[in-house]
Amino acid sequence: MVGTIKRHFGCWWRGRRQRASVPAVILCGCDTDYYAWLNRLQGRYEVVAMVTEEPWQHGTHVGGVRLVYPGEVRALCRRHEVSYLLYAHGADREAIEVACKEGGWHPFWCHGIEALPTVG
C-alpha cells in the first residue's frame, strides 16, 4: 500500500515540477490566428487549451490541444497554474469574461503572442 502511494505521488510530483518550468497558456479562440500561435508556442509554452463556443468543436483536439467552452477557462487556470490567457480579438476575451464573471479572478491577459516573454 505504501509503495503504491509513493509511486502515485512520485509521478504526480515529477509532472508538477516539469510543468512548472514551462509557463502554461490558454488560447482564447480557435480560428487561424490561434492555430498559427499554437504552432509557434509549442515547445516553449504548455498550451493547456483552446476556447470555442461551437458545440460541435467542444471536446475535440487541434494539434493535440483540447477545445473547451469559455466557462471552463477559470477551472483550467487553477488546475494547470496558467500564466497567460492569449487573445487575438476582443470578442474572444469578452466571451470568457462573461462566462467567468464571478469576482476574485484576475487572469493575466495578453493581446497577441508578442507580449509574451521569450516569444516574439
Q: What's residue 17's pLDDT?
A: 39
Cβ-based neighbour number of residue 74 at 10 Å: 17
The pLDDT confidence band at residue 26, using thresholds 50, 70 and 90, is very high
CA-CA distance, 103 to 48, in Å (whole number)? Answer: 23
Arithmetic mean of pLDDT, 26-43: 92
Q: What's residue 51's pLDDT?
A: 95
The second-level CATH assignment, the architecture, of 22-115 is 3-Layer(aba) Sandwich (3.40)
| Domain ranges within the chain, ordered by starting residue | 22-115
Higher per-residue pLDDT: 15 or 34 = 34
- Summarize pLDDT for 48-105 with one digit per residue, the tens: 999 999 999 999 999 999 999 999 999 999 999 999 999 999 999 999 988 888 767 7
Q: pLDDT at residue 7 above 60? A: no
Phi, psi of 12 (to 5 degrees): -60, -45
CB–CB of 109/85 below 8 Å?
Answer: yes
Q: pLDDT at residue 10 above 60? A: no
Q: What's residue 14's pLDDT?
A: 40
- Summarize pLDDT for 107-119 with one digit per residue, the tens: 899 998 887 876 5
Task: Mention every residue, 6+ apart, whose C-beta is less than 8 A from residue 22.
Answer: 44, 45, 46
